Amino acid sequence: MQRGNQVRSTQRFIAHGTLLLSTFVMLARAQDSNVPELRLDEAIAQAVANNSNLKTADLEIHRAADDLAANKTRRFANTQIVALGGQLLTKPSVTFQQGSFGVYNTIGPIPATNQTINIARKPAGVVFGSVAQPLSTQYRLHLQLKALSLGVEGTREDRDKTRLEVIDQVRRAYYEVAEAQSAFDSLQASLPYYEESKRLATENLRRETILESDLLGADTQLLKTQNAIRDANDKVAAAAERLNDLMGRDIHAQVRVSAIHYANTELEVAPAMLEARALANRPELKKAKLQVQQADYDARAKKAEYIPDVSLAFNYYTTANLENALPSNIAVVGFQLTWEPWDWGRKKQEYAAKRVKEEQAKVAVTATERSILLDVRNAWRQLETAQRQLALSDAVERADRQKLKEVQKQVKREAVLSKVLFQTQSELASADSGQLQALTAYSKASADLKKAIGEQ
């Protein structure tokens, strides 16, 4: 009697759960029917246009370009005005010695005696202006600007690397949505089998051809499937939110993606050709090569510091309210030389350090090339393995699904026991899980290979 009550209680719980799940599935299907299917290329395009990391990388390019433009102005004339105005704290004086302006036969020395001009403590001012056009430093400035322009190219390669990373993240997130969505759809498709198994178990118990434990087993299998459907829907929502974030749109937006279909287009290409494409496409290798050139220009610019700085200069000097004791206006135009004849070996050591940096950049190029080749080889092997495993799991899943249909027909004719049906259901669930795992491994391996060869 107690056993029968437990069975009826479990059946009522399953019935309520089935009703709730049916309502839930109907709502999910209604929502999906109104959501347009998002293709992978559309998701990538939206991410490229709206992703925050890519926008930051674009702004970094603008910053580097502005820095280059600012440094280009150093090749033009340097203008400077220095003005000083204030209250004199001392009483400056200027003394003109006797005869400092000449000695004449009829007049005598001018001035006849020493003359001192005192300037009272009062407000005074001095203005100095200069315009200097660099001449000899143009070569050094040219080398420095070349190094900076290579730096701008390097930031573009950084942007391209970020672009590839974002696209790779979008692919993975898209595949996660597709996997979770496929699991949800598969469980929904399997639900009628478990409902039918429970119905058959109920009829067979009424005919007293099975035990109550068999009915409880059918109820348990149905409940597990219902719970799995809800869990799968939660995974779909979580994966969709991550994909929306990468695409730069509202994370609450509904997402419905296309089913994943594998193709062996990458495996049809020889690994050597994939390696060549990777070496031509990968932005980190391009940047490493740019850094070698940049280090060379930096070293040459440092060596050019041995050349004295020669400029064509115009200087103007004027004073205000100094009793005309000093010349009030002085203008000079000519060549201006700045030279450090003895630096105690500083320039030589700095030049040597620049050359060491260039050698380091060359070593980095070689290391980057080897790393890229390893990435391509490893990704190609993983994709090959994942493809074989996916084909095998697909065959196993089809066989187990067909077997379940056949066993259900046999149960209707009472040709086999219910425990055979439950075992077959368990095998199908295991096959479904294995197929999803194989599909996950394949999609990730495909994304890894695309990233390894630098494809967008």
- CATH code of the domain occupying 2-79+135-308+346-452: 1.20.1600.10
Which tokens sit at 215? Answer: 């009915």
Least confident of 82-96, 183-197, 306-320: 183-197
3 state SS for 216-240: HHHHHHHHHHHHHHHHHHHHHHHHH
Helix axis angle, 283-303 to 346-412, nearest 10°: 170
The pLDDT score that the predictor gives to residue 19 is: 42
Residue 96 predicted with pLDDT over 90: no
The pLDDT score that the predictor gives to residue 269 is: 74
Residue 193 predicted with pLDDT over 80: no
Centroid of chain to Cα 316:
53
The pLDDT score that the predictor gives to residue 437 is: 72
Residue 31 predicted with pLDDT over 60: no
Helix axis angle, 138-206 to 346-412, nearest 10°: 20
Q: Is 269 helix (H, G, I), strand (E, B) or coil?
A: coil
List, for residues 76-92, the tens digit of each pLDDT value: 999 999 999 999 888 88
Residue 3 predicted with pLDDT over 50: no
The domain locations on the chain are 2-79+135-308+346-452
Beta strand segments in 135-277, E: 256-257
List, for residues 382-396, the tens digit of each pLDDT value: 888 888 888 888 888
Least confident of 271-285, 335-349, 434-448: 434-448
For residue 272, give every residue at least 6 positions away whose Cβ sits within 8 Å of its Cβ, in sequence order, or none: none
Helix (H) or strand (E) holding 451: helix 418-452
